[in-house]
Structure 1
């Protein structure tokens, strides 16, 4: 058994080191997947809503890959926040699996310091004005919640080392989901555009008839002072505002899964989870499928987007986001993951992420705005969430 564990650990690290831009990589607490090459690309939909017909288009691509000789084909890639925008999903020519990454007690190497020019979009003061707009819609009863985000545009005189960034993200995110996916469009130039990040949030996984979702909502930045850090954790766990915000998300996820499940276990109250930069309220929701033919992608499409990344009511929050945010979210707050021909798969909420291209990166972070939110607090929360990517890049201050 020990020998098998060592082999699994070594193989997982090999997959991380083998990653090159253009490939797909996903490390979860349970397994690592590396996909290389393209056997089939999932085509865009005719019409407006890309999600409606996505399960059927994925099934078609998987069947074609089977006809070409793949015994267990897998679709991998990313789906954007906006259902009007096309996903980037492919069946790789080669898929390799391993157990989870296990870095053990090995010392985390110091990241090289890179120089970046950083431009916030929107500017911090404009972001706070956007939060105030959201609060006005909450006060007049139009919305119950809205998630508003901002971005950092970073440019460097040197080429972005995507593999190096991915490695640093994985070393600091052993309990979460570290990913890299090619999101260049068919009409893009020859350069790669890579979505990469270290998300703490599982949208949904499906293994056989077992379904798991882990919605997160309600957050506090971590502190380097252990006493202050614990105080923030305790405050979050007792905050009426954050507990309500979390309940809205957990209830929405449960409502989305319930039609598919013969049984569903929803915790009565959330627990705390931590990343290097944030505390989160967390609920692990587990169910058993009524119909074993329902795929992980169908479940993910039924949940996306949750109130944790959009707001409530969903359609009105989405429209308000389009009006308030001065940029296209792209794949941020979408989902990234895989689905095999048996329907098993994992889909991760695309947060704590960036899009990298040649010498530039776009980082994203958002915060949930509800009654009682303060614009300055939401600004500080987004700053804390940026730290996941910035630390991996060797940037300690912005």
Structure 2
């Protein structure tokens, strides 16, 4: 393993500059990870057995002489889609990104054609279907998403887009994961994004989860922007939506923990595009041998990206949404041979293939949701990727 912790004189962490298409990259508030090449591929034919498959891959790598192997990659929303997980040939770990405000962003392409899938009217109809299911009592919450298909006049500059996302989202999780395999006959695919949401991290006996649910778009006017944050904190609808998510996360984690600290009230956090209700949950594990992927798969998918109850919400999503989510609302991250790692919810993201991007955004629907507000929320959430593209 190669460790890289130095930053250059302008403050730009060098690992971001060293990224090349096909690499794995994850920048979190604590560290930056760059994985290059493929030492081995994790067998992901059965997503239900991911924990054992990852353990086996790491054990085999250590027996073969790898000093500190790490599994990196992306896990999809649905268990019917195979995960993309590898042990890289070369792993570099650096400090958190330090990006100066005077460092310039550049457009990652020039001109675009954009198609909404579904069209806004169809999305509104889908929200009404979700509200009907809630009123009928079959579910309490459902997250419904839509997609933008973007065709660029020229090839997308993946590296520049990654730098733009990091520039705009200094406190979140910026990532890129290679989705293609050697057997794929199509052009390389890259999952890229800037998520505000940590699913779970594990370091030794300590764990952290940071569910987000309940949102408001940011405003350019500072007074209106602060008012949005205040309204979010006072919103009965959004506080209910947030409570559903926090309770589900608590139930999933408490069996693993000696201690679990769940704050009584959420706080608000902000990204460039959105305000979010946030609760940071911390805990101490009963068994330090529990891995980050054990915890992540126990949590996934949370009601923040699926709904509640989970299976009923997932079934409704499959009927209402006119596309396969793929890796959107899955997770991206890493796990080492000690079980330490961090997994981020795959939102504010896109898949890149040549001149094409597919963007995703969703909104949580609960009793009292207004379809027009949910459509506007998805539009605001697209802003993270669109700003990164220079659109």
Q: If the length of structure 1 is used for normalisation, what is the TM-score?
A: 0.95
* Cross-structure match for 1:275: 271
1:76 corresponds in structure 2 to 72
Inter-CA distance 113–357: structure 2 relative to 1 (3 Å threshold)? closer
Aligned position for 2:291: 295
Return 173-182 or 154-163, whichever deviates more. 154-163
**Superposition pairs for residues 150-169 of structure 1, below 5 Å?**
150-169=146-165
TM-superposed CA distance for 1:249, in Å, is: 0.3
Q: 1:307 to 1:367 in 2, by over 3 A?
A: same
* Number of positions where the alignment pairs a residue of Structure 1 with one of Structure 2: 388
- Cα separation, 2, equivalents of 1:33 and 1:214: 20
Q: Given the alignment of the two structures, is residue 36 of structure 1 paired with residue 32 of structure 2, yes or no?
A: no
Distance across 2 between alignment mates of 1:10 and 1:82? 42
1:330 paired to 2:345: no
Using the alignment, how far apart are the partners of 2:260 and 2:98 within structure 1?
A: 32
Q: Tell me the CA shift for residue 10 of structure 1.
A: 7.2
CA distance 1:391–1:192, shift in 2 (3 Å): same
Whether the 8 Å CA contact 2:134–2:141 is kept in 1: the answer is yes
Give distance in 1, aligned partners of 2:326 and 2:183: 16
Please give the alpha-carbon distance, in whole angstroms, between the structure 2 residues aligned to 1:138 and 1:185: 40
Provide the rounded CA distance (Å) in 2 between the counterparts of 1:44 and 1:223: 42
Query: Which among 252, 256, 260 is matched to residue 256 of structure 1?
Result: 252
Change (3 A) 1:85 1:112: closer
Q: CA deviation at 1:183?
A: 1.1
Q: Residues 112 and 306 (structure 1 numbering): CA distance in 2 closer, same or farther, change over 3 Å?
A: closer
Deviations 1:55-74 (A, max 9, x none): 11111111221123211100
**In the TM superposition, what is the alpha-carbon distance from 1:185 to its structure 2 partner?**
4.4
Deviations 1:109-164 (Å, cap 9, x if unpaired)?
35366211101000000000000000000011011000000000001121111111
Q: Which residue of 2 aligns with 1:319?
A: 315
Whole-angstrom CA distance in 1 between matches of 2:64 and 2:112: 45
CA contact (8 A) 1:183 1:193 kept: yes
| Change in 2 beyond 3 A, CA 1:194/1:241 | same
Q: What is the CA–CA distance in structure 2 between the aligned matches of 1:86 and 1:11, rounded to whole Å?
A: 38
State the alpha-carbon separation in 1 of the partners of residues 275 and 157 from structure 2: 29
Tell me, what secondary structure is at the counterpart of 1:229? Answer: helix
Contact 1:74/1:91 (<8 A) preserved:
yes
SS in 2 for 1:118: strand
Match for residue 59 of structure 1 among 55, 59, 70 = 55
Aligned pairs for 1:1-398 within 5 A: 7=7, 13-45=13-45, 50-111=46-107, 114-185=110-181, 187-189=183-185, 191-395=187-391
CA distance in 2, matches of 1:90, 1:273: 33
Contact 2:109 2:153 in 1 (8 A): no
Deviation at 1:18, TM superposition (A): 1.0
- Could you list the structure 1 runs, at least 4 aligned residues long, displaced by more than 2 angstroms after superposition: 4-13, 104-113
- Kept in 1, the 8 Å contact 2:6–2:14? The answer is no
The question of whether the paired residues in 1 share the 8 Å contact of 2:26 and 2:33 is answered with yes
Structure 2 stretches of 5 or more lacking a match? Answer: none
Specify the SS of the correspondent of 1:287. strand
Confirm or deny: 8 A CA contact 1:222 1:229 kept in the other structure: yes
8 Å CA contact 1:150–1:364 kept in 2: the answer is: yes
d(CA) in 1 for partners of 2:272 and 2:215? 13
- The CA distance in 2 between the partners of 1:355 and 1:182, in whole Å, is 10
Quick check: 1:143–1:316 contact (8 Å CA) kept in 2?
yes
SS of corresponding position for 2:255 = helix
Task: Measure the CA separation in 1 of the matches of 2:329 and 2:182.
Answer: 22
Q: 1:245: how far off?
A: 0.5
* Cα deviation, residue 103, structure 1: 1.3
Partners of 1:10 and 1:77 in 2: CA distance: 29
SS at match of 2:156: coil
